[in-house]
């Protein structure tokens, strides 16, 4: 349920917010949007499926079964959501639009992570490289995004890439904040469960020995 909700929110931020502003962002979702802008023969959701297909074929035998199917489900929710959503959110201020897009996208991504899920794409690559070559996931994401934004700068121009970077930074910050809040809430709930009284309105009573001094 949480994975479905998170992927749907991410799809909404991509289709209804990012595309009308003409921005791209990191990951395969951003690559799908860039491919859609260059060639509109396929929808963004279809481009996402096309880009993800070889990664799932190559990574199917290298990652765990649960992670594979969870990633497949998350990717399908994201891809279908991007094609099904037919709403456009516009902003008079490009900076405000970029920040809002990144925040909504980061919130959806955090929900997916809290569900121990994935939306496919680079998550499969990062998992495989971390298992085989001990490469960090952050290095995989950063390397891909550097190439993606370099291509976007040559195709779309520096102004669009600057706005796209704002979306990426806002997304990363929001994801981190939501994850930290979730960790704090879980830790606080765990502490509260330890100190809960026994029974409704009752308290655990620990017997304390009482020594009475006799008078001689």
Q: Residue 29, CB half-sphere, CA atoms under 13 Å: how many?
A: 31
Report the predicted TM-score, pTM, of the whole model to 2 decimal places: 0.75
Contacts of 93 (CB under 8 A, 6+ apart): none
Q: What is the predicted pLDDT for the residue at 144?
A: 81
Q: What is the predicted pLDDT for the residue at 23?
A: 81
Q: What is the predicted pLDDT for the residue at 142?
A: 72
Give residue 29's Cα distance to chain centre.
Answer: 11
Using the Cα atoms of residue 110, residue 161, residue 16 and residue 143 in order, give the sign of their dihedral. negative
Q: What is the predicted pLDDT for the residue at 208?
A: 46
Which residue has 């998350």 as its token pair? Answer: 74
Which residue has 């897009």 as its token pair? Answer: 101
Q: What is the predicted pLDDT for the residue at 137?
A: 60
Distances (CA, A) of 69 to 29, 59, 173: 19, 11, 28
User: Measuring CA to CA, which residue among 11, 9, 18 is closest to residue 166?
Assistant: 18
Q: What is the predicted pLDDT for the residue at 9?
A: 93
CA angle 202, 207, 210 (to 5 degrees): 140
Q: What is the predicted pLDDT for the residue at 143?
A: 80
Over the chain (216 residues), the average pLDDT of each successive run of 10 is 89 88 81 81 83 77 75 86 88 88 89 80 72 66 81 80 84 86 82 57 47 48
């Amino acid at each position: 349920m949480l994975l479905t909700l998170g992927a749907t929110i991410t799809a909404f931020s991509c289709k209804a917010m990012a595309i009308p502003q003409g921005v791209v962002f990191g990951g395969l979702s951003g690559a799908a949007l860039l491919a859609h802008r260059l060639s509109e023969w396929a929808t963004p959701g279809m481009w996402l499926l096309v880009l993800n297909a070889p990664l799932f074929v190559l990574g199917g035998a290298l990652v765990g079964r649960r992670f594979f199917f969870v990633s497949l489900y998350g990717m399908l929710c994201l891809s279908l959501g991007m094609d099904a959503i037919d709403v456009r959110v516009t902003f008079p201020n490009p900076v405000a639009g970029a920040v809002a897009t990144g925040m909504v996208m980061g919130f959806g991504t955090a929900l997916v992570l809290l569900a121990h899920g994935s939306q496919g794409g680079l998550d499969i690559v990062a998992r495989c490289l971390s298992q085989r070559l001990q490469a960090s996931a952050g290095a995989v994401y950063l390397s891909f995004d550097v190439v993606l934004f370099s291509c976007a700068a040559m195709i779309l121009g520096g102004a669009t890439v600057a706005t796209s970077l704002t979306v990426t930074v806002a997304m990363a910050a929001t994801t981190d904040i939501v994850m930290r809040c979730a960790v704090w809430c879980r830790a606080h709930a765990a502490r509260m469960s330890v100190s809960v009284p026994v029974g409704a309105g009752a308290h655990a009573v620990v017997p304390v020995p009482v020594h009475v001094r006799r008078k001689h």
